[in-house]
Chains A and B, each alone.
Chain A
């Protein structure tokens, strides 16, 4: 399999123009020359497909009742066909805007969708994933307030907390358990890791009285179709994971981080931002803007070093939100909510302890009478991925619109409580 179009004749002609007798001579500067490269023999396309397919078949596909930062929502067919178009797939960051109006408009639409859903004023054109978006929001808060303390409300996804801790360690920020004059930001996940929906009003008030910024983190943003948006509650920054918007679970990546802010923080947003402008004749067009914030201009004065974003996933999310529309997204959220509540109720009737007393979206916590490990194993035998063992005999269970009534009944039956 060879994507090098040169014939022997081409190479010979080119070498004579360059003034070298062999191609080897051209790379002779790279020393030391390696003596042996222990890689496999080259494969044809057919052989490659056989090999990679065999790897894929070593992974079990089960009926999914798990969330925890990655959600099994239905992906409309239309998405794949549009996202695979070569003009999108193989394009680059749109630094020459006149040749990239397509992608730029998509990113503008993405930014707009995020604002509409979160109730915020401005969004960027995506970040790597929910966890790093949260870390970037902490960095932003520190740069804005000139403080170094980060307060994290209970209920944050533990993996997000680990990533946040890593970023803080590397950039000299400190996660603390008090809101005081050192606090740059207060972070709260809503719905939280246990699926609970809270009213953040009190915490936001406390944050603002302290002159800190309030960051709301969202793990499954389909929840925004039925829950009041954080912008209306008064959040200053909203971050989260956009994987629920048409992106496959794909063993954890690539995913889609998003960040939206209130107007006053616009110039502090990291990452790329698309804006509308005009040409000399008054025709409207899209460009990357406020680029002086970014690393390639600010260099050592940049707040963040981020370069690449997740454009193709932002395109995916935009097409998802367009395809579903208001009605469709509401249906997805309602189904996720109803299914989770139905499963919880059925489990309760079977004798399992419900831990959530607060309203919840599509994830809930149960306490298992027997070992959680055993229940997960029982369910796995019936090809069901039944939940996340969060310790202390507690199981975190998730439902989406994809979990049918039969699946739910099978779950209840085979959980063998």
Chain B
């Protein structure tokens, strides 16, 4: 299993064979506060890199989830529809949001490494 990659929009991306799994980071869920619902895209729909594909709602805020690469949705975490709080409780594991098949896996190389992402978060904490 390869190391996870990250985006500037606070998403983590994990590559497993031909598929990538996407979720939001610990930092992101903390910023959002208590999550009350999520709007998931339809399986089979396609998105370009940086296009908004899902929406997470907390009590007082609403945030887009952006596609890290060009690709097609293969699976979504339907559990989140009934239990959105899983994203707060376990953003890195049970709170995974969706799976995609990237059109051009090389796009993943342009994402942030764990170190680069931690720097980004460190900066915004100042």
Contacts and interface: CB of A to CB of B under 8 A. Distances in A.
Interface string A119-149: 0000000000000000000000000001000
A292 B58 contact: yes
A298 interface: yes
A301 B64 contact: yes
A301 B42 CA distance: 18
Contacts of B121: none
Interface string A273-302: 000000000000000001111000110010
Contact of B60 (A267, A291, A293): A291
A146 B61 CA distance: 24
A291 B55 contact: no
B36 A292 contact: yes
Interface residues of A, number: 9
B57 interface: yes
B1 interface: no
Contact of A297 (B39, B52, B62): B62
Among B36, B39, B62, the one with the most A-chain Cβ atoms within 10 Å of its Cβ is B62
B89 to A, nearest CB: 19
B55 A301 contact: yes
A293 B39 CA distance: 11
Contacts of B42: 146
Nearest to B35: A292
B16 interface: no
Contacts of A267: 37, 39
A230 B55 CA distance: 31
Nearest to A293: B57
A267 B36 CA distance: 11
B53 to A, nearest CB: 12
Given A267-B37, A301-B55, A292 B61 contact: yes
A203 B64 CA distance: 37
Give the 4 A-B CB pairs with smallest separation, nearest first.
A292-B57, A292-B62, A297-B62, A298-B62
Interface of B: 36-37, 39, 42, 52, 55, 57-62, 64
Given A292-B60, A297-B62, 7 more contacts: A290-B36, A292-B61, A293-B57, A297-B57, A297-B60, A298-B62, A301-B55
